[in-house]
Structure 1
């Protein structure tokens, strides 16, 4: 099991999410966290928004990794989000964002959240991984790919 997949659950893989902007994306993530994990959506939404104001979390090549410390969160949560329509407004390099890994951590953050960020950056730097991920059509396949990459 990878560093990332230890914190990613099947119910936190959101394929075909309707989000036309970062604001809509962060709101949808907040709603999901409140409904699924009983973390106040305002806390999640505000934390992601504050972090994004500091600097863009778009990595390039269609990937973004919004991350934030969230009040009321007891452990690290990772979400994988694939918007229905690629997000042009998020793209730092001009490539539309198609893959979003959200990292939510309790405050104070620990070394573990930096390890997860490093693992995400490493995975998504591999074109083969990005291609394989985009071919996954359901959450179980996405989770399996995260757990088993590289083969």
Structure 2
């Protein structure tokens, strides 16, 4: 199991999300976390936007890992979002982002937060993982991929 598989639930896999910009993406994530987990939408969206304003979380290769500390959060939470169409994200390769792995962590962040970010970056740098991810078309299959992937 990947480390991310511990924090990602099938209910937090959002496929085919159509938004026009980062702000709309973060608002949609906030609304989802409010509906599913009771987190205030504005707190989540604001935290993600503040972090993104500090510097793009896009890695390139169509991937971004938006992440933020959320004061009222009790445990790390991961969400996977597939954007259709892709979104401008100030990526280093100037490409659009179609895959976003969102990490929400309690504040103050711990060493686990940095380890999780490093693991996510390594996982999404794996072309085999990205291809396997794109071949899956429902949340349960995607959750299973995160659970079962070994590199």
Structure-1-length-normalised TM-score: 0.96
Deviation of 1:148 after TM superposition, in Å, equals 1.1
Instruction: Show the counterpart of 1:80.
Output: 80
Distance in 1 separating the partners of 2:72 and 2:103: 15
2:12–2:78: 8 Å Cα contact kept in structure 1? Answer: yes
Distance in 2 separating the partners of 1:144 and 1:130: 14
Q: How does 1:115-134 map to 2 (within 5 A)?
A: 115-134=115-134
Instruction: Show the counterpart of 2:70.
Output: 70
Structure 1 runs of 4+ off > 4 angstroms? Answer: none
Deviation of 1:149 after TM superposition, in Å, equals 1.1
Which structure 1 residue ranges, 5 or more long, are not aligned? none
Instruction: Show the counterpart of 1:50.
Output: 50
Deviation of 1:88 after TM superposition, in Å, equals 2.6
* Alignment: residue pair count: 151
**Deviation readout 1:22-60 (Å, 9 max, x if unpaired):** 011000000001110000011001100100011100001
Q: How does 1:71-110 map to 2 (within 5 A)?
A: 71-110=71-110
Deviation of 1:90 after TM superposition, in Å, equals 4.4
Distance in 2 separating the partners of 1:125 and 1:7: 19
- Counting strand residues as a fraction of each chain, which structure ranks higher? 2
Which structure 2 residue ranges, 5 or more long, are not aligned? none
Greater shift in the superposed pair: 59-68 or 112-121: 112-121
Q: What secondary structure is seen at the aligned counterpart in 2 of 1:84?
A: strand
2:2–2:150: 8 Å Cα contact kept in structure 1? Answer: no
Instruction: Show the counterpart of 1:4.
Output: 4
Distance in 2 separating the partners of 1:103 and 1:141: 20
Instruction: Show the counterpart of 2:34.
Output: 34
Structure-2-length-normalised TM-score: 0.96
